[in-house]
Amino acid sequence: CSSKEGRDLILNHACIAQMITNTSSLLSSSNPWIASNVALVLARITVEELGCQTILTHLKHREILNELMLALDISDPSRSTNAAFAIGRLIEKDEGKKILISVCGQYKILDSLLHMLEVNEEKGVNKNACYALSCLCTTHYGFQLCLQYLTVFHRILFSIESILSSNEHENVWFALMCLRTIAQYDGANDHLCYSKKLPEKLKQIRDKWITHKDVQDEAKLLWYMIHRNMKPNQPNIDECRNNSTDISWNLCIDNWDNNEFQYRIILDDIPIAVTNNTNYCLKNLKANTNYSVQIQYVTSHGDSILSDPTIFRTDEELPPPVNNLHIVRRSMTAARITWESPDLSECNSFKGYQVYL
Q: What is the mean pLDDT of residues 113-140?
A: 85
Beta bridge partners of 275: 263
Out of 205, 226, 247, pick the residue that ends a domain: 226
Domain that holds residue 323: 319-357
- Residue 253: predicted pLDDT: 67
Task: Give me the pLDDT at residue 342, please.
Answer: 80
| Residue 246 shares a structural domain with residue 146 | no
Q: Is residue 267 part of a domain?
A: yes
Could you tell me if 14 and 108 lie in one domain?
yes
**CATH of residue 277:** 2.60.40.10
Cβ-proximal residues to 334 (8 Å cutoff; 6+ apart), any chain: none
Cβ-contact 91, 127 below 8 angstroms: no
Are 61 and 210 within one domain? yes
User: Does 197 fall in a domain?
Assistant: yes
Instruction: Spell out the alpha helix ranges (H) of the chain.
Output: 4-11, 16-25, 32-45, 49-56, 61-70, 77-90, 94-104, 108-117, 126-136, 140-147, 150-163, 169-182, 188-192, 198-208, 213-226
Asked if residue 99 has pLDDT above 70, the reply is: yes
Query: Are residues 104 and 221 part of one domain?
Result: yes
Contact 303, 263 (CB under 8 A): no
CA dihedral defined by 87, 92, 93, 97, rounded to 10 degrees? 40
In a domain, 231, yes or no: no
112 and 67 Cβ atoms separated by less than 8 Å:
no
On whether residue 29 sits in a domain, the answer given is yes
What DSSP assignment string belongs to 111-170? HHHHHHHTS-GGGS-HHHHHHHHHHHTTSHHHHHHHHTTHHHHHHHHHHHHHHTT-S-HH
Answer yes or no: is 147 within a domain.
yes
Nearest to 248 by CA among 233, 238, 239: 238
- Lowest mean pLDDT: which of 80-84, 187-191, 279-283? 187-191
Number of domains observed in the structure of the chain: 3
| Contact present, 103 and 61 (Cβ < 8 Å) | yes
Within-domain flag for 247: yes
Query: pLDDT by residue (tens digit) across 176-232?
Result: 999 999 999 988 988 988 888 898 899 999 999 999 999 999 998 898 888 777 788
Residue 132 lies in a domain: yes
CB 314 within 8 A of CB 286: yes
Same domain, 22 and 170: yes
Same domain, yes or no: 54 and 12:
yes
In the listed set 226, 250, 279, which residue is the last one of a domain according to the structure?
226
Same domain, yes or no, for 37 and 185?
yes
- Please report whether residue 327 resides in a domain: yes
Q: Give yes or no: residues 213 and 304 share one domain.
A: no
C-alpha dihedral sign at 116, 121, 127, 133: positive
Answer yes or no: pTM beyond 0.85. no
Q: Are 165 and 127 in contact (CB under 8 A)?
A: no
Q: Are residues 102 and 153 in the same domain?
A: yes
Q: Are 111 and 152 in contact (CB under 8 A)?
A: yes
Of residues 322 and 135, more confidence is placed in 135
257 close to 187: Cβ distance less than 8 angstroms: no
Question: Residue 118 pLDDT more than 90?
Answer: no
Cα three-residue angle 266-225-180, rounded to 5 degrees: 165
Using one digit for the tens of pLDDT, what is the confidence trace for 325-351? Answer: 888 888 888 888 898 888 777 676 667
Is 259's pLDDT higher than 90? no
Claim to verify: residue 177 and residue 286 sit in the same structural domain: no
Same domain? For 195 and 179 the reply is yes
CATH assignment at residue 183: 1.25.10.10
Residues 202 and 259 in one domain: no
